[in-house]
């Protein structure tokens, strides 16, 4: 049940950000749910591999390269999902930062409601 709520909250965050950011488009609400699921799968499978391969660069930049990895994950999701579009790399970085921030707020509200 908690996984479903977290996925729906992530989809809500994707919808809000798609409405706020001009360079991010999403076609339907169902596409937002698919984006949330695909992003969680990519963060679970692909992100650790990318972090491992880019560990020296991440250490040299004091962790700031993780923003680039997050943008790559967003752009990869853009390529995998038809109704989701992010127009540029910088838009993907901004989207990933705001998505992380919004998810942390929404997930903290989920924890407080227990």
CB 84 within 8 A of CB 29: no
Measuring CA to CA, how many Å separate 49 from each of 24, 42, 106? 26, 10, 27
Q: What is the pLDDT of residue 113?
A: 64
Which backbone phi and psi does 85 adopt, to 5 degrees? Answer: -140, 130
Q: Which residue from 34, 1, 3, 4 is spatially nearest to 14, judged by alpha carbons?
A: 34
Provide the residue range defining the domain that includes 107. Answer: 2-112
- Domain total for the chain? 1
Dump pLDDT digits (tens) for 44-98: 999 999 999 999 999 999 999 999 999 999 999 999 999 999 999 999 999 999 9
How far, in Å, CA of 26 to CA of 73, rounded?
17
Dump pLDDT digits (tens) for 13-37: 999 999 999 999 999 999 999 999 9
Q: What is the pLDDT of residue 114?
A: 56
Residue 12 has pLDDT above 70, yes or no: yes
Q: What is the pLDDT of residue 85?
A: 96
């Amino acid at each position: 049940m908690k996984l479903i709520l977290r996925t729906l909250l992530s989809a809500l965050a994707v919808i809000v950000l798609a409405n706020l950011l001009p360079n991010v488009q999403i076609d339907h609400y169902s596409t937002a749910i698919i984006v949330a699921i695909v992003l969680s799968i990519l963060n679970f499978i692909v992100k650790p591999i990318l972090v491992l391969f880019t560990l020296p660069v991440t250490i040299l930049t004091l962790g700031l390269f993780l923003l680039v990895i997050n943008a790559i994950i967003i752009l990869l999701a853009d390529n995998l999902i038809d109704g989701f579009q992010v127009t540029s790399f910088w838009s993907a970085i901004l989207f990933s930062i705001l998505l992380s921030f919004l998810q942390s707020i929404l997930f903290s509200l989920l924890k407080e409601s227990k």
